[in-house]
Amino acid sequence: MSGAAVNSQRGQLLSDTLATAKSEGRSALIAYLPAGFPTVDGGIEAIKAVIDGGADVVEVGLPHSDPVLDGPVIQTADDIALRGGVKIADVMRTVREAHEATGNPILVMTYWNPIDRYGVERFTAELAEAGGAGCILPDLPVQESALWREHAEKHGLATVFVVAPSSKDERLAQITAAGSGFVYAASLMGVTGTRATVSSQAKDLVERTRATGTGLPVCVGLGVSNATQAAEVAGFADGVIVGSAFVKAMLDAPDDAAGVEAVRALAGDLAKGVRGRA
């Protein structure tokens, strides 16, 4: 099979997975866990566990020393990973082993600076070779994304942009026109973290994003931590994104093995939520 054909298959996997969830009358469950947390091997086992528990898609976080979107829970995990010496090569290994073991789409969520320093062509080529489905780039402005998108498209990688309640309609249209895979709708202004209630702004943001005419699924993140909240968001979004709750479950566990079981159980609970069985 040619490289182009493999890229095409990989680029289609994320879209197909989200479409399958929709055909089943439910939202997709998208889980986030940072690479290298608690260790590289432990992080890979945790990702396998959340997929085994019911996650459809996984975002692998590339730990960063200045995570502007991430709250204290994910910052703590990133600090552990960085102190452990995690490198981009470990992120690629995490993507490769998680995808090979499960067949599910695995994305990388990263700030722009590490990619810029590593080299866009090198990063996209290695991510594609590892079987990655694409990237979520929360701090890359659409108007500065042409170089990234050129290389991502060459390698069949999705480019997921983040929209926020503060995004004006004109801005939403620009973002949805440039992105691929899905649109990440941040449900509130602020950083990641678990919250007692889902922001009332989330549904409005989803509706405004869809009103741009985009055919991309709109998935909601920031604040979802339990099955009840997942079911609420699943009522209006194509995907429910959960990160801090998974990381907190691992941080609170007495040991790494217990952490893996905790995230497996949480994924199972959230999977019931997105299916309306919470």
Q: What are phi and psi of 213, to 5 degrees?
A: 90, 5
Number of Cβ within 10 Å of residue 72's Cβ equals: 12
Q: Are 104 and 129 in contact (CB under 8 A)?
A: no
pLDDT at 1: 41
E strands within 45-126?
A: 57-61, 106-109
Which of 70, 90, 97, 238 is an active site residue?
Answer: 70
| pLDDT (mean) for 99-112 | 96
pTM of this structure: 0.93
CA dihedral over 43, 45, 46, 48, signed as positive or negative:
positive
Residue 71 binned pLDDT confidence (cut-offs 50, 70, 90) = confident
143 DSSP assignment: G
pLDDT at 9: 59
70 part of the active site: yes
pLDDT at 230: 93
> Tokens in use for 51?
């997929």
59 part of the active site: yes
260 DSSP assignment: H
> Tokens in use for 260?
């893996």
E strands within 157-235?
A: 158-160, 162-163, 183-186, 218-221
pLDDT at 273: 95
Which of 45, 56, 59, 90 is an active site residue?
Answer: 59
Q: Are 248 and 194 in contact (CB under 8 A)?
A: yes
CA dihedral over 74, 162, 188, 199, signed as positive or negative:
negative
| pLDDT (mean) for 208-218 | 95
